[in-house]
């Protein structure tokens, strides 16, 4: 699988994302935000971090980076696009995914292990993972409180746009398991065509033997299954 | 020159946890009659122009494209003629 990982000024999970895909033998291309060519990848990743220092609103300046025109073209042509954390914030700012990531209910930066339940397994990113599986994937954000108006939330629910929900270890989606105040415990959503996924948890931080959880690997393996690799 | 004074604020339907925290803090300071606090952004833009119509159109465009997120925020602004320095 050819994977292009975009680096914005202030991205800090770009190398982790490159590493976990490279370790599994995929061809990884780092792409600087001022570039305009993605290099014909199967998957584009907008990584976590603090693009442009989170100035104004998280992700609001990154949407004007030169590479974003190519990213939008790639996604609109059906190419796979994964936004992690700040990448998710950028996707909502660009308008490729609905809603907004507001400041956490607690006003605190939260950095912790977090279980998320797989709610959809017919997306390329969750292909073949058993529905209801609770994945242990860390979160690290201050603006992860997913908000959308009532009409938009209903559309997401009706059209099966919610891919991951915050849950407890046993997979129960409860208010107590919601770390940041996200509506409907939303941790990750996709578009109607299922080729764009935005998620606040960091699968690239849970995909190596060196760390506590390897559950993030399941998302990479799902993509491999989707491509028949 | 024209100074545009832009206020970007959360829509009434959007929860403002910062505002809630400030309300709680004001209550503990004894300001029991404060029932709600909403935090917003104030942005000043200086334009090298004296044409208010032109500047107004530009400020609307700037707010729609960048300064405000239409999902959660609204904006309003006023213009002030200021002497060139």
Question: Over the stretch A134-192, which tens digit does the pLDDT of each residue have?
Answer: 999 999 999 999 999 999 999 999 999 999 999 999 999 999 999 999 999 999 999 99
CB-based burial, A124-145: b 16+ in 10 Å, e otherwise: bbbbebeeebbbbbbbbbbbbb
* Cβ count within 10 A of residue A166: 27
* A102 with B18: Cβ contact below 8 A: no
CA A114, CA B42: separation in Å to the nearest integer?
36
- Token pair belonging to B83: 């002497």
**Cβ of A77 under 8 Å from any chain B Cβ?**
no
A186: nearest Cα among A110, A127, A90, A114: A114
Q: Residue A95 maps to which CATH number?
A: 3.40.50.880
Distance of CA A156 to the CA centre of its chain: 16
Which residue of A lies nearest to B22 if distances are taken between CA atoms?
A107
Supply the range of the domain harboring residue A12: 2-226
Per-residue pLDDT tens over the stretch B23-75: 999 999 999 999 999 999 999 999 999 999 999 999 999 999 999 999 999 99
Count: domains in chain A: 1
- Token pair belonging to A20: 């976990």
Which residues in chain A land under pLDDT 70?
Answer: none
Whether B84 has a pLDDT exceeding 90, the answer reads: no
* Predicted local confidence at residue A115, as pLDDT: 98
* Cβ atoms of residues A86 and A201 within 8 Å: no
Would you please indicate which residues of A are annotated as catalytic (active-site) residues?
85, 202, 204
* Predicted local confidence at residue A143, as pLDDT: 97
- Token pair belonging to A57: 């609103």
* A104 with B14: Cβ contact below 8 A: no
* A102 with B14: Cβ contact below 8 A: yes
């Amino acid at each position: 699988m050819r994977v292009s990982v975009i680096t914005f000024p202030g991205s800090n999970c770009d190398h982790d994302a490159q590493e976990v895909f490279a370790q599994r033998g995929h061809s990884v291309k780092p792409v600087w935000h001022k570039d305009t060519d993605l290099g014909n990848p199967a998957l584009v990743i907008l990584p976590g971090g603090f693009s442009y220092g989170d100035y104004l609103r998280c992700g609001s300046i990154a949407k004007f980076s030169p590479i974003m025109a190519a990213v939008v073209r790639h996604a609109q042509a059906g190419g796979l696009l994964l936004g992690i954390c700040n990448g998710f914030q950028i996707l909502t700012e660009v308008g490729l995914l609905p809603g907004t990531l507001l400041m956490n209910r607690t006003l605190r930066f939260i950095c912790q292990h977090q279980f998320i339940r797989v709610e959809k397994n017919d997306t390329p990113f969750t292909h073949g993972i058993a529905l209801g599986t609770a994945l242990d994937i860390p979160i690290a954000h201050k603006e992860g409180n997913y908000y959308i108006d009532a009409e938009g939330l209903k559309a997401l629910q009706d059209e099966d746009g919610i891919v991951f929900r915050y849950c407890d270890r046993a997979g129960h989606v409860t208010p107590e398991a919601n770390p940041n105040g996200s509506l409907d415990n939303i941790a990750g959503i996709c578009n109607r065509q299922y080729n764009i996924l935005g998620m606040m948890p960091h699968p690239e931080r849970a995909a190596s033997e060196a760390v506590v959880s390897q559950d993030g690997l399941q998302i990479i393996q799902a993509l491999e299954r989707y491509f028949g690799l | 020159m024209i100074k545009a004074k832009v206020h970007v604020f959360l829509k009434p339907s959007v929860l403002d946890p910062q505002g809630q925290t400030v309300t709680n803090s004001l209550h503990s300071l004894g300001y029991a009659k404060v029932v709600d606090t909403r935090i917003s952004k104030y942005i000043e833009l200086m334009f090298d122009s004296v044409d208010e119509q032109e500047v107004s159109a530009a400020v609307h465009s700037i707010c729609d494209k960048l300064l405000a997120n239409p999902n959660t925020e609204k904006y309003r602004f006023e213009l002030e003629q200021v002497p060139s320095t």
